[in-house]
């Protein structure tokens, strides 16, 4: 018999995967808890024993994705410690590959951001998650051995903003703006302008 802790973990994973599919198909507001449960093969009780709301579920999706990304970036640091541009390029590659489907992920993250702009509680939760993620990325960036003329957190904010905006353009105009092309063109220039060797 499966241990309760593992069973709960598997239930959460299936609910998250089901939600990812349903949100992409029907939108955050259009998807109901019942839709998510049907897709995952569970009851409402299973949902509410794992998540208090759809908002909490989306934030869990974000957290799972960024946890994997941060682990991968940490693994890259030792071999790129003296090659900041190569490290940046490798990180951009991870950002492109992190979610299994860029279009599906972009739809969910954009819709939840719009939801948060209209809902103070969702905005507070989203800002807390983004601050944690940004802080962890900033900590990794600060280990680069570079001297910064701007706070490293500001560079991280710029990377996130450019990546999110560029992803919209590449999804809408993939031939004119291939995925990652804007980031790979401009971020090395910015990095060079705001850093120097220690």
- CA 70-165-23 angle, to 5 degrees, is 70
Question: Residue 26: which of 38, 9, 44 has the closest Cα?
Answer: 38
pLDDT of residue 24: 84
Question: Which tokens is 64 given?
Answer: 């799972």
Please give the Cα distance from 133 to 162 (Å, whole number): 16
Q: Look-up: residue for tokens 């302008």?
A: 193
pLDDT of residue 4: 65
pLDDT of residue 142: 84
pLDDT of residue 77: 79
The pTM score is 0.84
Parallel, antiparallel, or unpaired for β 195-197 and 146-148?
Answer: antiparallel
Question: Which tokens is 8 given?
Answer: 């709960």
pLDDT of residue 97: 66
Q: What is the mean pLDDT of each run of 10 residues along the chain (198 residues)?
A: 70 91 89 94 93 94 89 83 79 70 86 95 96 91 86 93 93 92 93 86
């Amino acid at each position: 018999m499966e241990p309760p802790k593992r069973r709960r973990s598997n239930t959460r994973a299936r609910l998250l995967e089901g939600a990812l599919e349903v949100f992409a198909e029907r939108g955050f507001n259009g998807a109901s808890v019942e839709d998510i449960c049907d897709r995952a093969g569970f009851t409402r009780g299973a949902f509410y024993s794992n998540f208090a709301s759809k908002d909490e579920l989306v934030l869990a999706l974000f957290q799972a994705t960024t946890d994997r990304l941060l682990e991968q970036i940490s693994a890259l640091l030792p071999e790129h410690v003296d090659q900041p541009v190569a490290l940046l390029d490798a990180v951009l590659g991870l950002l492109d590959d992190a979610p299994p489907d860029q279009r599906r992920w972009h739809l969910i993250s954009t819709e939840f951001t719009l939801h948060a702009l209209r809902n103070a509680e969702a905005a507070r939760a989203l800002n807390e998650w983004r601050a944690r993620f940004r802080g962890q990325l900033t900590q990794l960036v600060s280990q680069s051995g570079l001297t910064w003329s701007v706070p490293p957190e500001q560079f991280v904010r710029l990377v996130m903003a450019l990546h999110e905006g560029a992803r919209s353009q590449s999804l809408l105009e993939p031939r004119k703006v291939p995925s990652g092309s804007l980031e790979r063109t401009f971020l090395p220039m910015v990095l060079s302008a705001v850093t120097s060797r220690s």
